[in-house]
Amino acid sequence: MSITTLADKINDANAKGRTALIPFLPGGYPNKESFWKEILELDANGADIIEIGMPFSDPVADGPVVEAASMKCLADGVNLKWIIEGLAKVRSQINAGIVLMGYYNPVLQYGLEKFAKDANGAGINGLIIADLPYEEGLEFRDLLAANEVALVPLVGLNTEPERMKLYADGGNGFCYFVSVLGTTGDRDSLPEEIKVGLKHAKDIFDIPVALGFGLKHPSQLEQLEGLVDAAVFGSALIRHIDDGKSCAEFMKVWT
Amino acid sequence: MKRGYFGDFGGQFVPELLMPPLLELEEAMGRILKSAEFQQEYTSLLKNFVGRPTALTHCQNLSRELGFNLWLKREDLAHTGAHKINNTVGQALLTKMMGKPKMLAETGAGQHGVATATAAALLDLECDIYMGAIDVKRQSHNVRRMELFGAKCIPVHSGTQTLKDAINAAMRVWIANQRTTHYCFGTAAGAHPFPLLVREFQSVIGREAKQQFKERTGEMPYMVVACVGGGSNAIGMFHEFVNEKSVKIVGVEAAGTGEPGCTNSAPINLGTPGVLHGMNTLLLQSDDGQILPSHSIAAGLDYPGVGPEHVHLHATGRAEFGMVNDSQAINAFQMLCQKEGILPALESSHAVAWVIENKDTIPKDANVIVNLSGRGDKDMDILDDYLAQHGK
Ligand SMILES: Cc1ncc(COP(=O)(O)O)c(C=O)c1O
C-alpha cells in the first residue's frame, strides 16, 4: 500500500480511456448483513475506488438521502470500529481503492493516532472529512500521510485559486471537486460555472480531480471532457438500492 | 494559520464551501463594525428601538431574605423580551452594510427567530428562520410572531428535530445561498468569527451593568451570574468583568430533571471535548462521537454544546460553572414573581436559582448581579404543564 494508491487507481482507469468510478455507500447500508456483499459487488463491477460513509448524527454537508441512510445505519449500531474491523476482514478480496468519508468528531473520539494506524492496518487508502478545512486539517494530514493514508482535499465552485493552491501543496490522493454550492444529493443539471472551477483545479493540483455531489447519470459528464478524471456518486446509488435493485445493475450504466 | 481560538477551544470546523463566507464575514467585521457610520446607527437603534439602557434593579425583598444584595440586569425589558435583540439588530445592520438582501437564522425556543424577524422587518431584509419540527409545535406562539414580522419559518424534520438540527439545516442553506444571504447566528458559539461577533453585540449588557452599578454604589460587584445555553447572554455580561480580577464570574448550566444520568443541557459540567457546528468545545456525546439529545425545561438552554469562550474561562479557572435543575428553576421563577413582581424567562430563572441554592456561600451584604436574560410570558404553558404534572 502507498499514499499514491488512489491516484494510481484513477490514472489506470484514465489510461484505459475512461473516467474512474467512485461509488459511495454509508457503512452498514442497506443493513449490516448485506453491506460487505454490496461492496464486493461494486468492486467486481467496475468501481476503481469505493467510498464508505462513516455515519454521523449531524451531517451538515449531506442532503436528505445520505442523511436518512446514515441515520438508519446509526440506529443499527454501526460505528467506526465496526467499519474498520469489517473492512480488515474483506480487504484482500477488494481490488478497488478504499476511502472513508465522514465528519471529524467520530474520528476525533476514535483517537487520531489510533485511527491513522488502524486505517493503515485495514487497507484504507484515504479519508475525506467534510468539516475539516485546510487550516484545521494540516496536522492530521501529516499524521495520516505518515501512515500511508491520504487526506483527500475538498474544494468547490467558490474556492479561489489561492485556496486551491494551499490544498494542492502537499495534497495527496485526489482532489474532490464539489459540483454544486450545496449538499450531497442528485440533481438534473450541473451549474455552468463548473467548467471554470474544474479548469483551475486541473491546473493547480498534481493529483487527479474527481467530481462529486449531484451526479446521477454519465451524460452529465459529457460537457466536461478532459476536466474530470473520476466521478463520485452517492445519493443516486442509495436510491437505486432503496428501489430493490442491485449494485451490479447500477454500475452497468456507468461502465 | 488556525483562527478563532480561545485557548484550545473554538476554531473553524466547517466544510470548505463555508470558508469563503466566514472569511468574508471576518473581513466585513473588521471594516464595518468600527466605522463611525455603523457605530452611530447601532447606538441609535439600541437606544431608540431596543430601549437601552435596560434597568439595573435592586431586589429589595429577596435581598432581605437571602442575606446579600441581589441586583438584576433587566434584559427582559429589551424589545421582544430578551437579550437576543442586541445581537440581531447588530447583525441585521451588518448584513445591510455588507450589501446582502437576506438573513437566515436557526431558532430553538423561537426567541432568536423572533428577534431576527424583528430586526429584518425594521431594516427591510428578507428573512428565513429554520426551526426543529418539534419546537415549531411546542412554540407555536413564537412562530406566529415571526410570521407577523414577515419572516418565513421553515420546520426542520431531520435528526432530533430540535435546535441542533435547525443549526445543521441553516448551515446547509447558507452553503447554497452565501452570495446573497447572511447567516444571523443566535448565540456566542459556532465557527469563528461567530463567537466574537455575537460577543461584540452582547457585551453592551456588562458594560451598562458595570457603569450603572458604579453610579449607584461607587463599587465593583462581588459576583456576576448568568445562565448558559450557547452562551450569548452570559458572555455579554461576563466580557466587561473578565479583567476585573476581584469580580467572581458564575455561569449556570441546565441540569435537566436533575437525577444522576438524566438527559441534561450541561456540557461544561457533564460533557467531553469534541467538534460540532464548527467549533471545538465540550459536548454531550456518546463514546463514538455521536451527539446526544439534550433536555431542559428552559427551551433556550436545550443544546448539547456550548460557546468555546466559556469552555476556556472554565479551563483557566476564571469562571465557575454551576448547575441548576428544572424544579429549582421553577422555584426561583415563582419566587421572583411573588417577591419582586418580575416574571423571568425559565432560562434566566436558572441563574436566579443558582444564587438562591448557593446563598450560604455568598458573604453577607455582598453585591451579586444576575443577568435576567428575558421575560417569561413565553413560558406560561410550560409552567402550567409542569405544575399540573407535579401536582401543585
Ligand atoms: C431568555 C433567554 N435566556 C437565555 C437563552 C440562552 O441563550 P444564550 O446562552 O445564548 O444566552 C435564551 C435562548 O433562547 C433565551 O431566550
pLDDT of res. A218: 85
The residue whose CA has the least distance to atom 1 of ligand 1 is B374
pLDDT 10s digits, A6-51: 999 999 999 999 999 999 999 999 999 999 999 999 999 999 999 9
Most confident of A77-81, A212-216, A234-238: A77-81
Chain B: nearest CA to A197, how far in angstroms? 13
- DSSP 8-state class, residue B249: E
User: Whose C-alpha lies nearest to ligand 1, atom 13?
Assistant: B300
Q: CB of B128 closer than 6 A to ligand 1? A: no
Q: Catalytic: A62? A: yes
State whether the beta carbon of B63 lies less than 6 angstroms from ligand 1. Answer: no
Contact status, residue B205 vs residue B126, Cβ threshold 8 Å: no
Q: Which letter, b or e, does each residue of A11-24 get, where b requires 16 or more Cβ atoms within 10 Å of its Cβ?
A: bebbeeeebbbbbb
Confidence of residue A185 (pLDDT cuts 50, 70, 90): confident
Is A106 in contact with B275 (Cβ distance < 8 A)?
no
- pLDDT, averaged across chain B: 97
Give dist(CA A62, CA A64) in Å, integer: 7
Does pLDDT of B391 surpass 80?
no
Average pLDDT of B209-230?
A: 98
| Cα A223 to ligand 1 centre (Å) | 51
What secondary structure does DSSP assign to chain A, as a single string? --TTHHHHHHHHHHHTTS-EEEEEEETT-S-HHHHHHHHHHHHHTT-SEEEEE---S--TT--HHHHHHHHHHHHTT--HHHHHHHHHHHGGG--SEEEEEE-HHHHHHH-HHHHHHHHHHTT--EEEETT--HHHHHHHHHHHHHTT-EE--EEETT--HHHHHHHHTT--S-EEEE-SSS-SS--S---TTHHHHHHHHHHH-SS-EEEESS---GGGGGGGTTT-SEEEE-HHHHHHHHTT--HHHHHHHH-
Closest C-alpha among B296, B15, B270, B122 to residue A103: B15
For residue B108, which of B79, B83, B147, B138 has the smallest C-alpha distance?
B138
Which residue among the candidates A38, A43, A48, A62 is catalytic per the annotation?
A62
- B305 alpha carbon to ligand 1 midpoint, in Å? 13
What's the whole-number mean pLDDT along residues B50-60? 98
Q: Ligand 1 pocket, B232 CB below 6 A?
A: yes
Q: In B, which residues are within 8 Å of A80 by CB distance? A: 288
User: For residue B172, what is the nearest residue in chain A, using CA coordinates?
Assistant: A60
Pick the range with the lowest mean pLDDT from A182-191, B119-128, B350-359: A182-191
Q: Are B41 and B339 in contact (CB under 8 A)?
A: no
Alpha-carbon span B37 to A96, nearest angstrom: 59
Task: Give the pLDDT confidence score for residue A192 in this predicted structure.
Answer: 86
Residue B156 DSSP class? E
- ipTM of this model? 0.97
Which chain A residues touch B14 with a CB distance below 8 Å?
A: 60, 131, 133
Q: What is the spatial distance between Cα B386 and Cα B389, in angstroms, rounded to a whole number? A: 5
Binned at pLDDT 50, 70 and 90, residue A58 comes out as very high
Query: CB neighbours (10 Å) of residue B337?
Result: 15
- The whole-angstrom separation of Cα A110 and Cα A108 is 5
Nearby residues of A126 by Cβ (< 8 Å), 6 or more positions away: A6, A49, A97, A98, A99, A100, A149, A150, A151, A152, A173, A174
Return the bridge partners of B128, or none. Answer: B104, B152
At A217 the pLDDT is 85
**Which of B301, B336, B349, B372 maximizes ligand 1 atoms within 8 Å of its Cβ, making it the mutation to test the pocket?**
B301
| Residue B231 Cβ contacting ligand 1 at under 6 Å | yes
pLDDT tens figures, B135-146 = 998 888 899 999
B→A contacts (Cβ < 8 Å), by residue, are 1-3, 11-17, 19-20, 158-159, 164-165, 168, 171-172, 175-176, 178, 274-278, 283, 285, 287-291
B54, B111, B116, best to mutate for ligand 1 pocket (most atoms within 8 Å of CB): B111
Residue B314 distance to chain A (closest CA, Å)? 21
Cα separation, B228 vs B187, in Å, equals 10
| Residue owning the nearest CA to atom 7 of ligand 1 | B229
| Residue A129 banded pLDDT, cuts 50, 70, 90 | very high
B218–chain A nearest CA distance, Å: 46
CB contact under 8 A, B291 and A58: yes
The grid cell for A10 is 484513477
Amino acid A106 reads: P
Asked if B43 and B93 touch (Cβ cutoff 8 Å), the reply is no
What residues of B are labeled active site?
Answer: 59, 83
* pLDDT 10s digits, B299-331: 999 999 999 999 999 999 999 999 999 999 999
Determine, for residues B13 and A132 on separate chains, whether the beta-carbon distance falls below 8 Å.
yes
Torsion angle, alpha carbons of B171, B172, B177, B181, to 10: -20
Least confident of A9-18, B51-60, B158-167: B158-167
Question: In the beta sheet, which residues pair with residue A177?
Answer: A155, A211
Q: What is the pLDDT of residue B392?
A: 65
| CB spacing of B276 vs A58 below 8 angstroms | yes
List of chain A residues whose C-beta atoms are within 8 Å of the C-beta of residue B12: 133, 135-136
B331, B356 contact by CB (below 8 A): yes
Torsion over CA: A40, A45, A49, A53 (sign): negative
B19·A64 Cβ contact <8 A = no
Provide, rounded to the nearest whole percent, the portion of chain B with pLDDT above 70.
100
Beta bridge partners, B74, equal B372
pLDDT (mean) for B238-263:
97
What pLDDT, in 10s, does the model give residues B10-44?
Answer: 999 999 999 999 999 999 999 999 999 999 999 99
Task: Kindly tell me if the per-residue pLDDT of B121 is higher than 70.
Answer: yes
Q: What is the DSSP letter of B279?
A: E
